[in-house]
Amino acid sequence: MRKVTFLAVLMVLASCAPAPDAQVTKNRAAPAGPQDAVFAAPAFAAAGGAPSLPGPGGHGTAELAATFLDLTFQMESGRTLPGFSRFDGPITVALTGQVPPLAAGDLARVVARLQSEAGLDIRSAAPGEPASITIEFRPKAQLRRLAPTAACFVVPNVGSLAEFRAARGTRTVDWAAVTLRTRAAIFVPSDTSPQEVRDCLHEELAQAIGPLNDLYRLPDSVFNDDNFHAVLTPFDMLMLRATYAPELAPGMSRGEVAARIGGIFARLNPDGGGLGGVDLSATPKAWTQAIETALGSGTALPARRNAADRALALARAQGWQDGRLAFSHFAVARLYVGADRSRAVAEFSKAAALYARLPGGAVQIAHIDMQLAAIALASGRPDQAIGFADRSIPVVRATENAALLATLTLLKAEALDDLGQPQAATRLRLDSQDAARYGFGSEAVIRQRTREIAALGAQGSRG
Q: Is 123 left (phi over 0), alpha (psi -120 to 50) or beta?
A: beta
Q: What is the pLDDT of residue 31?
A: 52
Q: What is the largest CA-CA distance in the chain?
A: 66
Residue ranges per domain, the chain?
A: 26-272, 285-461
Q: Which amino acid appears at position 9 of this protein?
A: V
Tens-digit pLDDT profile for the chain (463 aa)? 333 333 333 332 222 222 334 444 455 444 566 666 556 677 775 444 444 444 445 789 999 999 999 999 999 888 999 999 999 999 999 999 999 999 999 999 999 999 999 999 999 999 989 999 999 999 999 999 998 888 899 999 999 999 999 999 999 999 999 999 999 999 999 999 999 999 999 999 999 999 999 999 999 999 998 989 999 999 999 999 999 999 999 999 999 999 999 999 999 998 887 677 788 999 999 999 999 999 988 889 999 999 999 999 999 999 999 999 999 999 999 999 989 999 999 999 999 999 999 988 999 999 999 999 999 999 999 999 999 999 999 999 999 999 999 999 999 999 999 999 999 999 999 999 999 999 999 999 999 999 999 999 888 777 6
> From CA 374, how far away is CA 388, in angstroms rounded?
9
CA distance 242 to 264: 7
**pLDDT recorded at residue 5:** 34
Who contacts 313 (Cβ-Cβ below 8 Å, separation ≥6)?
none
Say what the pLDDT of residue 227 is: 87
Q: Which amino acid is at 231?
A: V
pLDDT at 388: 98
Q: Using an 8 Å Cβ cutoff, are 28 and 12 in contact?
A: no
CATH 2.40.160.40 is right for the domain spanning 26-272: no
Per DSSP, 56 falls in state S
CATH topology of domain 285-461: 1.25.40
Residue 434: what pLDDT?
94
**Separation CA 426–CA 445 (nearest Å):** 18
Q: How far apart are the first and last CA of the chain?
A: 40
Enter the pTM of the model: 0.90
Query: What is the amino acid identity at position 346?
Result: A
Could you tell me where the DSSP H helices lie in 59-134? 61-72, 103-117
Taking CB atoms within 8 Å and a gap of at least 24, the contacts of 316-320 are: 318/281, 318/284, 318/287, 320/279, 320/281
Rounded to an integer, what distance in angstroms lies between the CA atom of residue 104 and that of residue 131?
15
β-strand 122-124 against 91-97: which pairing, if any?
A: parallel
The SS3 of residue 353 is: helix
Q: In Å, how far are 281, 292, 388, 413, 434 from 419, measured between CA atoms?
A: 48, 39, 15, 10, 25
- Express each pLDDT in 335-347 by its tens digit: 999 899 999 999 9
pLDDT, tens digit, for every residue of 48-67?
444 444 444 578 999 999 99
Q: Please list, residue by residue across 89-106, b when 16 or more beta carbons sit within 10 angstroms of its beta carbon and e when fewer do.
A: eebbbbbebebbebbeeb
User: Tell me, what's the pLDDT at 38?
Assistant: 54
pLDDT, position 28: 47
CA distance 221 to 214: 9
- What is residue 261's predicted lDDT score, i.e. its pLDDT? 98
CA dist 366 and 220 (Å) reads: 13
**Residue 49, pLDDT score:** 47
Question: Which residue, 205, 244, 239, 198, is CA-closest to 221?
Answer: 239
Q: Look at residue 43 in the predicted model and tell me its pLDDT.
A: 72
pLDDT at 105: 95
**Torsion angles phi and psi, residue 232, rounded to 5:** -55, 135
The runs of H, that is alpha helices, within 23-159 are 61-72, 103-117, 140-146
pLDDT the model gives residue 27: 55
